[in-house]
A and B are shown apart, each in its own frame.
Chain A
Amino acid sequence: MSDVTQIAVYTLTIGSIYGLVGFGYSLIFSTTRIVNFAQGTLVLVGGYLAWDLYAHAFHGDVALPIILILVVLLSALIGVLVDLVGVAPLGRFDPRTNVSWLVTTFGLGIVAEELVRRYISDSSQTLPGLVHSLPLFGSRRLPFGVAVSASDVLLVVVPIIVVVLLEVIQARTRLGRAFRAVAQDRQAASLMGINPTVMVMIAFALAGALAGLAGVLVAPRLNVRFNISVTLGVYGFIAAVIGGLGSTRGAMIGGYLIAFVEAFTGVWNPFSSGEVYKPIAVFIIFIAVLAVRPSGLFGKKIVEKV
């Protein structure tokens, strides 16, 4: 029976990270109709920034939660930089026929990754959990003998809080309304006195912040290393696409779904080594969902106007 708990823990922890990254894609997509291919790298950059701040800048003197806040702010800044350097200068363009944005965002991702490699570290690093124990929780064992650390609990809880918070802001505040207006119709929004450029920048900042947050949260589990930029980047995107780009809930649910598929394949599969089949299973699910619903589970079908 411990298999079930194991799958549940994996799904909830890793799934929420995929969802967090996917949410970033979703935010940018809904305002600009482009996909920020640097998103995965921002996760990596967040992790390494946190490690660098923790181990070098402050020599372990500053509590990690403070570093987390710093990293989130820095990542937001990097997100804005991606927009300012890679997307804003392209001006107004049709993302379907002009593919420059693909090249600039992906290229900037590599630039950021290489800068980390050169100036921070070129090897895998470890970062301790944000907190070692939670009040009321401690380091506890669930029934069936699965160990759950405090950082795992944060991994589950923080993304949900953040996403709910952002949902509330989107629904209830003036800024949120402006944001949704730009997402629905950029031109009409700008005629109503909303500056779409600013909204796009906010989207990039938020996406960057989410990626940075994901990078720090996931560090105790996956370590700070380079290939997470591709895996988390692609899986996050797959989560967002499966859920439906532009839908918040979709990204989270998509994240849980693929994490579940991964965990499930890892535990129950007829072959000997489950690890190898994880990505294959995710890929198959991805193709299957897109074959049935090209706009994702919660996405609105896009009908081209003629």
Chain B
Amino acid sequence: MTVQGAAVPTAPAPSVALPDDGRRPPPAWATVAARFVPGVLLIAFLIWFGLAQQTDRVWISLGVDAVATAIAVVGVNVLLGYTGLLSLGHYSFFVFGGFVGAIWAVQDWGVNPWLGFGIALLAGMVLGAVLALACCHLRGFYLTVVTLGFALISAPIAQAASGLFNGLTPRQVEQPLDMQPIFDHLDLKNLQIAANKYLIGLYWIGAALLLFSVYMTWNLVHSRYGRGFKAIRESELAAGASGVPTYWYKVVAFALSAGLVSMAGVIAAQNTLNVGVSDGAAMVGNSFKYVVEAFTGGLGTLAGPVIGAFTFTMGFGIDIGGKTITQRLGTAVALFDAALVVAVALVAPEGVVGNLKRIGAWVTRAYSGAARPTPVASDAMQRPTPRAATRSGDGSAAVLEARGLVRRFGGLAAIDHVDVSIAPGTVHALIGPNGSGKSTFINLITGIYRADEGRVLLHGRDIGRMRPSHRSRLGVARTFQTCLIWRRMTVLENVKVGTHGRNGRRWSATRIAVGVFLTLALGIWFHAAGDTDLVPAFLVALAFAAASVSDLGIALLVPRFLRFDEQRTADRAWGLLHFVGLAERGRDRAGALPFVDQRRLEIARALASDPDVLLLDEPAAGMHPNDVHQLTELIRRIRDAGITVLLIEHHMDLVMELSDTVTVLDFGCVIAEGTPAEVRTDPKVIEAYLGVGAESEATEEGVST
């Protein structure tokens, strides 16, 4: 059941449009509750645990362990769950964080121990970024091996570098945190509490940092970074073609996860008051443990890592018949962990949270998930807008031009000195028999392949050496023959990613002012209240301030309902969904759409980058004739909005009806170019399609394969 091509409403129309399956929208309270209940439960649990267990030394120390692990697993989840990259070396960052935050910063640089957490976060991000810069050009598991190698060499590096940084050899934390401020509010007459006070204080700090980490991830997931990460996870190729700078985003994801793991390392260091590098095998084993916990809890979910980490720490401390689970397992803990995660991967790869969601969906199956009101979009938001002010085909300068393009595969030239010039505001069709090089041509234009020779000019500017994401940001958008949408993201999110090249934040006076203010305020505070020397205090303050007002900092710290650019992105995405007629399915998973609608979604996503040129790679392939008709209409409306369309298609009626110009490729060469009527009767074209000697019949029927 497909939705009709939406008529553009001139006035705000009633916004609720229910799919006709008799299902009701869920009540409003349920929608809100579903969003906030997990967070409230987490806070309640942390508070309950802290108050109820503070007299029990074993449990409160398990609690410290649990929150530290949870922060690390949240970090690993950013990389593995959202971005789809597995690192088996993150424990090295855990140790590194302990060194930086609890020892070097405090003992060697004279910074207040309380700042250790933030310093470890930033330093971990820097180290993570350095490693990521060296390995993020690699595909999935190659990266994993680099991280494995990193885990293996961290001990040798520690040894080799023992002259630097006053040594990486095991060191004591000489200045533990001063918990006194916390204990002004606690009943120290209770002897047990007094005895545990250091652990209790550490627990509350850890709990707060855990909430902070979850809060940051929550913001991140709903920001352009989070969407970019997920797009990379689902299809890196499509992400790049939609304007996501994939390499840099992978570096950011890696850095961020390394930072969070480092921060967790400080808690552990303050807990054991000792930091040391263990051997490579242990580094790898501990790193894998984070993966186990994230996987068991549910990868790519907010609650999953916390649940996973708590299960494997606190959960194993539960008493069964006088012995805790850990005691019962004894040395078999590692065996049990590994067997468990294998079982989870095979039986319930979505983990605890993924399966809870599935159960939830089953319970609420009477309600229609899609039936929440679809936001109306203003006229302006629905109109595709090319970024250059080129309107209608007046035949002036070409918007996109290929000059002497050559691409060889082995000895064969798939594209052999092709010159094509596409006039603005037109529909330019590229046709040719199978294997004639049409898709190769599109891949050369969009940067999926690099040309061996020749140039690609956009508005006269050579874009032939740029990455796909860069070309997309300059105004070249595309769809894929095989329909590469991000299946596990919602329809709306898919389109939002498309706006990537458009709604970037720029440095504004406000941001710089906030940054300066933060630097001064924090610097004075650290210096005055924190007993830190002036210079380190201001350096640390500057680092914090710069991090906070950077793009990433804002994405992490400011929730989306306070962000204007997020509002604009959402409006635009809804508008374009209206334009292609998919608005009612906006909140569904993209993978659940029927094939035809996936095609529309791809077009909406491509339009979201406000392209000057839209390249459609066989948009009608495998479509029912009725749907082809709607597609024709859609392409026409796109052209009318001023966007130049390059169309690769086998449906000749579609090509003949829409195109202003047709270029025919055969064996990688242009064999004909002209209006549809000219091309249709060109003997060379007929020969290419039907072979020599078939002219007479072909001319009568037109080329209608």
Genuine A/B complex: yes
Whether the pair B280, A306 counts as a contact (CB closer than 8 A) is no
Is B214 among interface residues, defined by CB-CB distance under 8 A?
no
Is B292 among interface residues, defined by CB-CB distance under 8 A?
yes
- Enumerate chain A residues within 8 angstroms of B88, measured Cβ to Cβ: 106
Whether the pair A110, B481 counts as a contact (CB closer than 8 A) is no
A95, A110, A291: which contacts B134 (Cβ < 8 A)? A291
- Enumerate chain B residues within 8 angstroms of A280, measured Cβ to Cβ: 153, 156-157, 160
Is A213 among interface residues, defined by CB-CB distance under 8 A?
no
Is B518 among interface residues, defined by CB-CB distance under 8 A?
no
What's the tally of chain A residues with a CB closer than 8 Å to chain B? 51
- Enumerate chain B residues within 8 angstroms of A278, measured Cβ to Cβ: 156
Q: Per-residue CB proximity of B60-89 to A under 8 Å, as 1/0?
A: 000000000000000000001000101010
Whether the pair A102, B346 counts as a contact (CB closer than 8 A) is no
Q: Per-residue CB proximity of B135-150 to A under 8 Å, as 1/0?
A: 1011111101110111
Is A167 among interface residues, defined by CB-CB distance under 8 A?
no
Is A234 among interface residues, defined by CB-CB distance under 8 A?
yes
Q: Per-residue CB proximity of B616-635 to A under 8 Å, as 1/0?
A: 01000000000000000000
Interface of B (DSSP majority class): helix
Given the contacts A97-B84, A306-B484, A238 and B346 also touching, CB distance less than 8 Å: no
Given the contacts A96-B140, A231-B280, A283-B149, A107 and B135 also touching, CB distance less than 8 Å: no
- Enumerate chain A residues within 8 angstroms of B157, measured Cβ to Cβ: 280
Given the contacts A231-B280, A286-B146, A118 and B332 also touching, CB distance less than 8 Å: yes
Whether the pair B160, A237 counts as a contact (CB closer than 8 A) is no
Residues of A196-254 at the interface with B, using a CB-CB cut-off of 8 Å, are 226-227, 229-231, 234, 237-238, 241
Whether the pair B335, A276 counts as a contact (CB closer than 8 A) is no
Whether the pair B334, A279 counts as a contact (CB closer than 8 A) is no
Whether the pair A287, B153 counts as a contact (CB closer than 8 A) is no
Given the contacts A35-B141, A303-B449, A230 and B342 also touching, CB distance less than 8 Å: no
Given the contacts A104-B346, A283-B150, A287-B146, A294 and B138 also touching, CB distance less than 8 Å: yes
B589 to chain A, nearest CB (A): 15
Whether the pair B84, A238 counts as a contact (CB closer than 8 A) is no
Whether the pair B156, A279 counts as a contact (CB closer than 8 A) is yes
Q: Per-residue CB proximity of B441-456 to A under 8 Å, as 1/0?
A: 0010000110000000
Q: How far is the CA of A89 from the CA of B346 in the complex (A)?
A: 7
Q: How far is the CA of A184 from the CA of B134 in the complex (A)?
A: 30
B80, B160, B338: which contacts A111 (Cβ < 8 A)? B338
Q: How far is the CA of A115 from the CA of B331 in the complex (A)?
A: 11
- Enumerate chain B residues within 8 angstroms of A271, measured Cβ to Cβ: 160
B149, B234, B279, B342: which contacts A286 (Cβ < 8 A)? B149
Whether the pair B145, A234 counts as a contact (CB closer than 8 A) is yes
Most chain A CB inside 10 Å of its own CB: which residue of B142, B150, B331 = B142
Q: How far is the CA of A186 from the CA of B697 in the complex (A)?
A: 41
Given the contacts A110-B335, A111-B342, A230-B284, A277 and B156 also touching, CB distance less than 8 Å: yes
Q: How far is the CA of A278 from the CA of B192 in the complex (A)?
A: 51
- Enumerate chain A residues within 8 angstroms of B346, measured Cβ to Cβ: 85-86, 89-90, 100, 104
CB within 8 Å: A-B pair count: 143
Whether the pair B284, A104 counts as a contact (CB closer than 8 A) is no
- Enumerate chain A residues within 8 angstroms of B144, measured Cβ to Cβ: 35, 102
Is B516 among interface residues, defined by CB-CB distance under 8 A?
no
Q: How far is the CA of A234 from the CA of B482 in the complex (A)?
A: 36
User: Chain B: which residue is nearest A90 at the CB level?
Assistant: B346
Q: How far is the CA of A231 from the CA of B156 in the complex (A)?
A: 13
Whether the pair A241, B342 counts as a contact (CB closer than 8 A) is no
- Enumerate chain B residues within 8 angstroms of A97, measured Cβ to Cβ: 84, 233-235
Q: Per-residue CB proximity of A292-306 to B under 8 Å, as 1/0?
A: 001000000001101
What's the tally of chain B residues with a CB closer than 8 Å to chain A? 59
Q: How far is the CA of A34 from the CA of B140 in the complex (A)?
A: 10
User: Chain A: which residue is nearest B488 at the CB level?
Assistant: A97
Q: Per-residue CB proximity of A99-123 to B under 8 Å, as 1/0?
A: 1101110111111001101100000
Q: Per-residue CB proximity of B558-597 to A under 8 Å, as 1/0?
A: 0000000000000000000000000000000000000000
- Enumerate chain A residues within 8 angstroms of B150, measured Cβ to Cβ: 283
A284 to chain B, nearest CB (A): 9
B142, B152, B288, B480: which contacts A110 (Cβ < 8 A)? B288
Given the contacts A107-B341, A111-B335, A234 and B138 also touching, CB distance less than 8 Å: no
Whether the pair B237, A290 counts as a contact (CB closer than 8 A) is no
Whether the pair B482, A306 counts as a contact (CB closer than 8 A) is yes
Q: Per-residue CB proximity of B276-289 to A under 8 Å, as 1/0?
A: 00011100110010
Q: How far is the CA of A108 from the CA of B443 in the complex (A)?
A: 40
Whether the pair B140, A99 counts as a contact (CB closer than 8 A) is yes
Given the contacts A103-B295, A279-B152, A229 and B281 also touching, CB distance less than 8 Å: yes
Whether the pair B335, A114 counts as a contact (CB closer than 8 A) is yes
Given the contacts A271-B160, A277-B160, A118 and B335 also touching, CB distance less than 8 Å: yes
Whether the pair A276, B152 counts as a contact (CB closer than 8 A) is no
A185 to chain B, nearest CB (A): 16
Q: Per-residue CB proximity of A172-194 to B under 8 Å, as 1/0?
A: 00000000000000000000000
Q: How far is the CA of A300 from the CA of B295 in the complex (A)?
A: 33
Q: How far is the CA of A275 from the CA of B84 in the complex (A)?
A: 35
Q: How far is the CA of A98 from the CA of B157 in the complex (A)?
A: 33
Q: How far is the CA of A291 from the CA of B137 in the complex (A)?
A: 8
Residues of B317-342 at the interface with A, using a CB-CB cut-off of 8 Å, are 331-332, 334-335, 337-339, 341-342
Whether the pair A241, B142 counts as a contact (CB closer than 8 A) is yes
Whether the pair A110, B345 counts as a contact (CB closer than 8 A) is no
Whether the pair B160, A276 counts as a contact (CB closer than 8 A) is yes
Is B378 among interface residues, defined by CB-CB distance under 8 A?
no
B419 to chain A, nearest CB (A): 23
Is B176 among interface residues, defined by CB-CB distance under 8 A?
no
Is B55 among interface residues, defined by CB-CB distance under 8 A?
no
- Enumerate chain A residues within 8 angstroms of B364, measured Cβ to Cβ: none
Whether the pair B145, A238 counts as a contact (CB closer than 8 A) is yes
User: Chain B: which residue is nearest A122 at the CB level?
Assistant: B331
- Enumerate chain B residues within 8 angstroms of A276, measured Cβ to Cβ: 156, 159-160
Given the contacts A103-B345, A104-B342, A110-B334, A306 and B439 also touching, CB distance less than 8 Å: yes
Given the contacts A277-B160, A287-B135, A107 and B152 also touching, CB distance less than 8 Å: no
Is B291 among interface residues, defined by CB-CB distance under 8 A?
yes
Most chain B CB inside 10 Å of its own CB: which residue of A229, A230, A279 = A230
Is B349 among interface residues, defined by CB-CB distance under 8 A?
yes
- Enumerate chain B residues within 8 angstroms of A35, measured Cβ to Cβ: 141, 144-145
Binding site for A on B (CB under 8 A): 80, 84, 86, 88, 134-135, 137-142, 144-146, 148-150, 152-153, 156-157, 159-160, 233-235, 237, 279-281, 284-285, 288, 291-292, 295, 331-332, 334-335, 337-339, 341-342, 345-346, 349, 409, 439, 443, 448-449, 480-482, 484, 617
3 shortest interchain CB distances as A-B pairs = A114-B335, A110-B338, A107-B342
Binding site for B on A (CB under 8 A): 34-35, 85-86, 89-90, 95-100, 102-104, 106-111, 114-115, 117-118, 226-227, 229-231, 234, 237-238, 241, 271, 273, 276-280, 282-283, 286-287, 290-291, 294, 303-304, 306
Further contacts, 13 of them, CB under 8 A, given A97-B234, A278-B156: A35-B144, A86-B346, A108-B338, A111-B338, A118-B332, A230-B148, A234-B145, A280-B160, A282-B149, A283-B153, A286-B146, A294-B139, A306-B443
What would 12 A/B residue contacts be, using CB atoms closer than 8 Å?
A: A34-B141, A35-B144, A85-B342, A96-B140, A106-B88, A118-B332, A234-B145, A279-B149, A279-B156, A287-B135, A290-B138, A303-B409
